[in-house]
Structure 1
């Protein structure tokens, strides 16, 4: 029997984790005979901010007529930030469908200031009762939600991101120096400045660090590279997308994210694992749900001394890189492949409808 689901989320052509998720989810559902339509709640035009805000409101009001009974489920994809959460509440208040799924992406419920208001929290709780199933990327996200809305605990589950991964033989990388890649939004909480300081402690003949991304601490990065005289060792490359970004992931020995941010499961981590690039990251959020330290990734601290120690260890023991990266790739194949995603979400849609 053919089913159809309405996926509510951002434009699939924009750069971002939720858009990536929508693209992967759509592809995975096709493989299990579930068709999808996309409904964008946001105006992505170049018109004025006021016009776009008005259009966003119209889109929220119109979802009631769009989300009719032809759909097996309505699958909403908010992030856990103030604006996205309020938009979720407004959208749910308009919906009348019997099988609504909400999948939360990046962020933390600590970010949502309005949840400190008891009256608003009571109102939010009543609106959220419309939802048949809440999906979280990590155990931390789930627990943060249940501290606020304990009456909804029978409707929650944790499901990490999935990725399109092909099982291919191990291809060794022959970089003369340890090639380290930082690819993320450039905010101090991601640990990029600590990485640069750690690189300054390692011999130039042993390491090359590529920094890719954009964000508010770009000037701090360039100033620190200049101050430490690291131009030959640390390269700040700005933003990269598509195939160009993938080439850096494929060619790096190590992908590093020494973050103190409330991470979900960044797609860059999964992409690094896919391309057999050894992941060094802090045990934040969903990362500790999918990575076993020393097996399919290596946990580090957002600390210059610790980052320096772990990079030097890999410089001296290159076989660790091959072993950990191959384990990571195999973990994706067995647990987080696109085929697994289709089966998992189809089961959620059907079981939620029956409940």
Structure 2
């Protein structure tokens, strides 16, 4: 990575954003993960950034954060238990975690770098049971407030949740009739989740001072994470049971809403890394089950809240030859960038405004080229010539 790469990104922005998002057009390519790692290192060393958040399970991310801040656990175990979607198997992510742990070694807490996942506890084919996050939120409150202030016991939650397998059944993705997301027990669970979150809010004058006095500010932050996650997860399961034509679009919107809430909760300055489709400012689109789905993604939501405090750099690639993605046509965004022999560079996205360019089409479903109609809504484009 060329020295000053982070500075080039910052020069494209009106100021240092609270949240800088680096998108990618496909997942799992080592060249893209190494680009992210290099950018984050420079942001930490030169721009004062202290947090990296990626498109991975927000609850599992706590395992990674515990390791990079304290060395808790072994690296192999952390890579297995700290990432969703199989991300822990990628060398680029392993290199990242190892670097973060090494950077933090011997540094006081305020100077350490932190890790977070911003996705919900969701996979493409299924969503998690609400048991873990319900137990975590209820347990936090039960240890700190009078039992009479809680809407139920832990045993009641366990009884209503039932078998975890009924929540995680992958058949639900294509057959809403198999979902328990709108069962009487699920409806009651949503009400109880709302009451638990309300109890957390109501007890804020007690809980925040106690967390400061005990030095357990992280406990409070985790409780807020549990509160966001339990309500979002139950909402996602609710839409899993939907039978309307808008079901899949509502699921996409529910997932991105959870992502946005997690991103907004992060104390900046932070770098977020995920798919362009999640982090872009414009409405997201995807074909699934033969239908064109459209919804507002996490980046669009966060951008609406933060304004200039949200920066977005989209990543584009020239070729992914092992996936059948060959040299781009010269009249595409990627084709114009490919004309330069440089392997990696950052350019101002506004240079493509008003140009008559065609959309690139990928022979591989796992790669999403940039849309020339909206490319100038990014602040910059990070280009990787060969993946």
Higher relative contact order (CA 8 A, sep 6+): 2
Q: Is TM > 0.5 for Structure 1 vs Structure 2?
A: no
TM-score, scaled to structure 2: 0.25
Structure with the larger helix share = 2
